[in-house]
Structure 1
Amino acid sequence: MNVTVTSTAATSNSTVCVKIGESAISDLLMSVYILAFIFGLIFNVLTLGPIWQQVRRQNVLGIFLLNLSLSDMLFLFTMPLWINYYRQDHHWGLGVISCSVAGFFYYSNMYISIYLLCCISVDRCLVVTYPLRSKTHRTSRYAWAQCATVYVVVIAMHIMVLVNDNLTDAHDGANNNDRCYETYPMEKPVALFNLLRGGIGFLLPLLVLAVSYWRVLATVGQSPGLSAQAKRKVRLLSFGHCPV
C-alpha cells in the first residue's frame, strides 16, 4: 500500500490528500491472506473432531475451543473477499453492503476470539486457585452461557455500529477510490471510536490475561504440597495444554 500525504494551506483552509496506490505491500498482504485462509481452514477442520469429542463429554475447555473455532471459521469465509481486495490494489469493487458485511465479520471475529481467550484464561485461573469451589460451578451450562454472552455482546455492539453508520466510513467511494475500511484522513468521531475500541478490545483483555496468568503462576509456585513435576503439569493445564 503506497500512501502519499500532501497538504496545502491557504489562509485558514488546508487540504489533505491521501492516495493509496499500487505497491508490493498489496501483493504481500494478498499472499499472507491466502496462506492464512488455506492453513486456517485445514487446521480448523482437523481440530473440529477432537474438540467435538470433548464437547460430548461436557468438557468446559472443549466448549470454549469449539466456539473459538466457529468464530474463526466465520472470518475465514470472508477472506476470499479481502484477497480479491488486495489483488485489485485496494479497490473493493463489490459494493458498499458487502464491504460492511465483510468488516462486520472481521471485527466481530477479532473481538469474539479475544474475549473467548479471556474466558479460557479466567477459567484456568479459577481451576488452579480455587480447585474445590470452582469444581461445583464449572459445568457445561456455565461454559455455554459465557460463550453466548460473548457472542451476543460483541455482535450487538457491531450491529449498532452498522445501523448508525451511513456506510461512508466503511466504504470510501470519493474520487473513485472504492476503498474498504481505509478512509484517510479519519474523521474525529471515527478516530475516537477506534481508540475506544482499542482500549476495550485489546488493553482490557490484556490486563485480564496478565492477571490470570500471574495468579496461576503465583499460586502454583507457593504450593508446598506439589513436586516440581506436578507444578509443571499444573502450569501446562492452566495454559490450556490439557483438557479438564
Structure 2
Amino acid sequence: MNTTIPNCGINFKRGSDPLMAIYIVVFVVGLIVNLITLGPIIQQVRRRNVLGIYLLNLSISDLLYTLTMPLWIHYYHNDHVWTLGRPACLIAGFLFYSNMYVSIGLLCCISVDRCLAVKYPFHAKVFRKCRYAWILSAVVVLAVMGTHAVAALLDDDFEKQEGCYESYPLTVHVARVNFIRVAFGFFIPLLLLTFCYFKMFQGVQKSISVEDRGKRKVKLLSIAVIIIFAFCFTPYHVILLLRTVVFYQDQDNSCPFEIQVYLYFTVSLAMSILNSVVDPILYVLVSNGVKEDMKNMARFPFRRKRQASRTFSTVNTMLSRN
C-alpha cells in the first residue's frame, strides 16, 4: 500500500529554490505595497467611505497573510520539515489559509458594493452604509476563521504530521475540508464576481449619463478582477479538487498521482499568494478617494518644504527691512 510510504516518497527538494524566491519577492513587495496604501485607506474610513471599510479589512487580511511568508520560506528551505514546533505551525497555517479565504470573501463584498453603486445607485443607499459594511466584514472574517478553527480542531492526524498543513496522501478529514474550500471558497465567489461585474458593465453600457472614459474604466476593472482572480486562485483550487477526487476514488493508491502533480500544486499555491500584492494596487487605483489621498500624501513633504521656504524668505525680508 502506498500509504505506508512517508509523504508518498515525494522529493521536496524539486522546485524549492524557485518557490522560496517567489515567497521572498511576495513578502517584500506585498509588505511595502500594503503598508503604503494603508494610510490613504484609513483616511477614507475616517470619511465614512463604505468602500474604504472593505479595503481596510482586505489590507489587514493581506498583511497578516504576508507576514506568514518568512515561516514558509524557512519551511521550504528545510525541505518541508517543520522545526518551529506544532503551535507555531498551527498559527502560521491558520493565518495563511484563513486570510486567503478572508481576502476572497472581502473581494466579493467589494464587488457587490461596486455593483450596487453602479447598477442601483439610488435604491442601494439604504444598504451601502458604514455600519452594514463593518458587520458584513466581521461576518466574513468570523465565518472563514471559525470554519478553519473547527477543521483544525477536528484533525486528529495534525500532531503526527512531519510537515505543516501538508498531507501526502490526503486524509479523509482533509479531503472533506478540501471540498468545502473549493466549493465555498472558490467556485461560488467566482460565480458571484462574474455576475457582479457583468451586471456593472451591462448597467454602465446602457447609461447615458456615464461618459466613455467611465465606461472604459468599469470595463477594464471588470475584466481585470476576473482575470486576476482566475490567475491567482484557479490553478490551486483545480489541482486541489483533482487531488481530492483521486483520493476518494482509491484512498490506498493515490500516491502516484500525488507525485505527478506535486510540483504543479506547489507552483499553483505560490501563484495564489500573488493576490496579496495585486489587491491593494487594483482597488486603490479604481478608488478615486484613495488615489487622491495617496497623491496628497506624496505631495505633503514637498508642500511642507515649499511652505518652510516661503516662511524663511518672508522672515528674511522682514529682517532686512528692519
Q: TM-score range by the shorter chain?
A: 0.7 to 0.9
Instruction: Tell whether 2:115 aligns with 1:70.
Output: no
Amino acid at match of 1:148: A
Do the aligned partners of residues 152 and 202 (structure 1) sit closer, same or farther apart at CA in structure 2, a change above 3 Å counting?
A: same
Structure with bigger RCO (C-alpha 8 Å, 6+ apart): 2
Q: What is the CA deviation profile of residues 143-188 of structure 1, one whole-angstrom value per residue up to 9, with x for unaligned ones?
A: 111111111111111111122222x24x554xxxx21122211123
Pair 1:59-2:43 in alignment? no
Amino acid at match of 2:63: M
One-letter code aligned to 1:242: S
The aligned residue for residue 47 of structure 1 is 37
Give the counterpart of 1:163 among 144, 153, 157: 153
Is the 2:201–2:215 Cα contact (8 Å) retained in structure 1? no
Residues 1:242 and 2:294 aligned together = no
Compare the two structures and name the one with the higher helix fraction. Answer: 2
Are 1:203 and 2:193 matched, yes or no? no
Q: 1:208 to 1:41 in 2, by over 3 A?
A: same
**8 A Cα contact 1:26 1:86, kept in partner:** yes
Deviation for aligned residue 1:15: 5.2
Amino acid at match of 1:56: R
Name the CA distance, whole Å, in 2 between partners of 1:73 and 1:46: 11
The answer on whether the counterparts of 2:62 and 2:99 sit within 8 Å (CA) in structure 1 is yes
Q: Distance in 2 between matches of 1:182 and 1:118?
A: 28
| Corresponding position of 2:242 | none
User: For the residues of structure 2 that align with 1:157 and 1:243, how far apart are their CA atoms?
Assistant: 35
Question: Which deviates more from structure 2 when the two are superposed, residues 74-83 or residues 216-225?
Answer: 216-225
Task: Give 3-state SS (helix, strand or coil) of 1:131's partner.
Answer: coil
Q: 1:24 to 1:163 in 2, by over 3 A?
A: closer
Write the mapping of 1:100-115 to structure 2, written as runs, cut at 5 A: 100-115=90-105
Provide the rounded CA distance (Å) in 2 between the counterparts of 1:149 and 1:78: 23
Structure 2: stretches of 5+ with no match in the other structure: 226-282, 290-322
The 1:227/1:49 distance shift into structure 2, 3 A limit, reads closer
In the alignment, is residue 83 of structure 1 matched against residue 73 of structure 2?
yes
Match of 1:143 among 133, 149, 152: 133
Q: For the Cα contact (< 8 Å) 1:71–1:109, is it kept in 2?
A: yes
Distance, in Å, in 1 between the alignment partners of 2:4 and 2:121 is 62
The answer for the alignment partner of 2:300 in structure 1 is: none
Letter in 2 for 1:121: S
- CA–CA separation in structure 2 for the residues paired with 1:214 and 1:75: 29
Of Structure 1 and Structure 2, the greater strand share is in 1
Greater Cα radius of gyration, structure 1 or 2: 2
CA contact (8 A) 2:53 2:130 kept: yes
In structure 2, C-alpha distance between the alignment counterparts of 1:69 and 1:225, rounded to whole Å: 33
CA shift at 1:227, angstroms? Answer: 3.9
Displacement after TM superposition at 1:50 (Å):
0.8
Q: How does 1:97-136 map to 2 (within 5 A)?
A: 97-136=87-126
After the TM superposition, list the runs of 4 or more consecutive aligned residues in structure 1 that deviate by more than 3 angstroms. Answer: 14-17, 224-227, 232-240
Matched, 1:228 2:212: yes
Question: Matched residues in 1 for 2:217 and 2:165: separation?
Answer: 45
8 Å Cα contact 2:45-2:52 kept in structure 1: yes
- CA spacing shift, 1:229–1:28, aligned 2, 3 Å: closer
Distance in structure 2 (CA, Å) of the matches to 1:191 and 1:22: 21
Partner of 2:201: 217
1:194 pairs with 2:178: yes
Distance 2:85 2:221 in 1: 47
Aligned 8 A contact 2:64 2:99 in 1: yes
Name the CA shift for 1:223/1:100 in 2 (closer, same or farther; >3 Å).
same
| CA displacement at 1:38 relative to structure 2 | 0.7
In structure 1, runs of 5+ residues without a counterpart are 1-6, 9-13
CA contact (8 A) 2:42 2:52 kept: yes
With 208-217 and 218-227 compared, the bigger mean Cα shift is at 218-227
Number of residues of Structure 1 aligned to a counterpart in Structure 2: 227
Shift of 1:73: 1.3
TM-aligned CA distance change 1:226 to 1:210, over 3 Å:
same
Distance across 1 between alignment mates of 2:204 and 2:146: 38
Q: 2: CA distance between counterparts of 1:180 and 1:237?
A: 37
CA distance in 1 between partners of 2:100 and 2:49 (Å): 24
